[in-house]
């Protein structure tokens, strides 16, 4: 592969420390170490991961977009791509997918790969815009088989334009973390904790978690719920917690940098989501070796089954979630055994090297199909 054909551009909406953003940073920096020439384009003004990319010697250009509807952003990105002349553009997240596709066509980029990271069940117009711009896409990479099936059946994307590459996790970062000191939240030694991590949004099911946990908290004053994350539902959740008899046992932590340490300290990780793609936080909980209970949403069975089949509960049911939590809390030895097995699976199937191998293999195949690589 000559230098020109090793040039790959990445486009993402922002570089905050979310799952898609961390995946991009891992992919771009990993490909850089393997001899590719990545360049990251961020539609917004930047984010927490810019420094990580720069430290990995990956060029980052932030376009400062204020609205994805601004055609000027498309033109600006097209101008940047025309100057870089990448052989392939990989986009992440809805807005970057749309802007990147149009800019790539204007710039004459031969191969365009879009990332599909969630089964979008709320904003159906996203599916419509995604479908009508598929003419500009060479391949869509889905994070799970469940998302690929959804993209085909609900999104109308042909199966031959769908590939599946699951997320990855830095196993050592979570496995080797020291447990957090929970005394800062008023939690004493021997008290049990349920941990949820995610944006405070309806999708993540935090209301469902509180409904499920309420009777357990009322019965056991030494049981606590920790919720790490920020989002539009914070005020409503705070109001509900303040009005409840068990309110002092629920702690909204806000955004945290010590998620590995919190996971290592938790008794149980809970994923109450209503829909997903492949939940990174569940993969991180597996790597941390913490027992988990998760809603049966997209990607969960691909992570937990068959070893963790008992940990999966029907989505949207507070009663089922409560039953799953009670099952784990009542048999900690069995839960720890399952958690250990899942930790091994996270290392064997979801290491960063697997993600890099899969993306590099796909890119090489697509470039070869366009005559940009020798057979």
Q: Hey, what are 128's tokens?
A: 């419509």
Residue 67: pLDDT above 90? no
| Averaged pLDDT score across all residues of the chain | 94
Structural domains of the chain in order of their starting residue, each with its CATH number: 4-168+351-369 (3.40.50.2000), 171-349 (3.40.50.2000)
Band of pLDDT at residue 18, cut at 50, 70 and 90? confident
Could you tell me the pTM of the whole model? 0.90
Residue 220: pLDDT above 80? yes
* 317-350 pLDDT tens trace: 999 999 999 999 999 999 999 999 999 999 999 9
In 3-state terms, what secondary structure has residue 358? Answer: helix
Strand arrangement of the beta sheet that strand 312-313 belongs to? 250-254, 223-228, 192-197, 268-271, 292-295, 312-313
Residue 375: pLDDT above 60? no
* Residue 203 burial (10 A CB sphere; 0-12, 13-18, 19+): middle
Q: Hey, what are 163's tokens?
A: 């590939």
Residue 252: pLDDT above 70? yes
């Amino acid at each position: 592969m000559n230098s020109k054909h090793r040039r790959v551009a990445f486009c993402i909406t922002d570089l905050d420390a979310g799952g898609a953003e961390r995946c991009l940073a891992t992919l771009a920096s990993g490909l850089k170490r393997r001899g590719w020439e990545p360049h990251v384009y961020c539609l917004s003004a930047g984010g927490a991961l810019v420094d990580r990319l720069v430290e990995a010697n990956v060029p980052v250009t932030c376009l400062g977009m204020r609205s994805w509807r601004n055609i000027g952003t498309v033109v600006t990105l097209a101008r940047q791509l025309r100057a870089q002349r990448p052989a392939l553009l990989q986009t992440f997240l809805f807005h970057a997918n749309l802007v990147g596709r149009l800019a790539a066509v204007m710039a004459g980029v031969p191969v365009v790969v879009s990332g599909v990271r969630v089964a979008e069940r709320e904003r159906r117009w996203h599916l419509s815009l995604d479908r009508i711009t598929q003419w500009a896409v060479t391949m869509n990479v889905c994070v799970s088989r469940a998302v690929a099936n959804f993209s085909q059946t609900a999104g109308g994307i042909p199966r031959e334009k769908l590939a599946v590459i699951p997320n990855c996790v830095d196993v050592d970062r979570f496995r080797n973390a020291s447990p957090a000191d929970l005394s800062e939240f008023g939690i004493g030694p021997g008290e049990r904790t349920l941990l949820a991590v995610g944006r405070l949004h309806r999708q993540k099911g935090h209301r469902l978690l509180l409904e499920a946990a309420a009777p357990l908290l009322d019965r056991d004053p030494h049981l606590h719920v920790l919720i790490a994350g920020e989002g539009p539902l914070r005020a409503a959740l705070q109001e509900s917690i303040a009005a409840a008899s068990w309110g002092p046992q629920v702690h909204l932590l806000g955004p945290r940098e010590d998620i590995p340490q919190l996971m290592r300290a938790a008794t149980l990780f809970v994923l109450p989501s209503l829909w997903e793609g492949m939940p990174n936080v569940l993969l991180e909980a597996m790597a941390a070796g913490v027992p988990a209970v998760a809603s049966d949403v997209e990607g969960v069975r691909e992570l937990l089954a068959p070893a963790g089949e008992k940990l999966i509960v029907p989505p949207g049911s507070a009663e089922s979630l409560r039953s799953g939590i009670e099952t784990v809390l009542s048999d900690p030895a069995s839960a720890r055994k399952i958690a250990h097995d899942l930790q091994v699976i996270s290392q064997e199937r979801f290491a960063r090297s697997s993600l890099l191998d899969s993306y590099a293999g796909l890119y090489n195949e697509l470039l070869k199909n366009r005559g940009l690589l020798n057979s």
